[in-house]
Amino acid sequence: MLDKAPKTAIAGDYDRCWISDDYFDLIVWYTPGNTIYGFQLCYDKQHWERALTWLSDRGFAHTEVDTGEDTPEANRTPVLVPDGSFPSERVLAEFTRRGSTLPVELRKLVTEKIGEFAQRKV
């Protein structure tokens, strides 16, 4: 279940909030005026993790999270690589179910952007 987490101030960057459960990571960036600048919704973390990113001044990106973990002895930094497939119905259903306790404004924005991105991919 996704629950609202406190905002963290980041020097030289937008304040952000990191909300997580076993399926999603939702990172939300806020402007100095406390409006949402953008978000990154990482999903299906345990099987095939991908990320839908939306920024108000740049639009959308959809990527796969490449963990780079070949062996248990190496701890490599995950990187985002291009990925075109987006299971919008599954992501929307999971987000609706798991994000029911999030603030209405945030839930509405994320669900609208999931739908908007899915329409662009048709």
The whole-number pLDDT of residue 83 equals: 63
- Average of per-residue pLDDT across 10-16: 92
Tell me: pLDDT of 84 over 70: no
Tell me: pLDDT of 92 over 70: yes
Asked if 18 contacts 114 with a C-beta cutoff of 8 angstroms, the reply is no
Tell me: pLDDT of 6 over 80: yes
| Residues whose CB falls within 8 Å of the CB of residue 77, separated by 6 or more in sequence, listed in order | 68
- Average of per-residue pLDDT across 50-68: 87
Question: 45, exposed or middle or buried, with CB in 10 Å at 0-12, 13-18, 19+?
Answer: middle
Tell me: pLDDT of 36 over 60: yes
pTM: 0.84
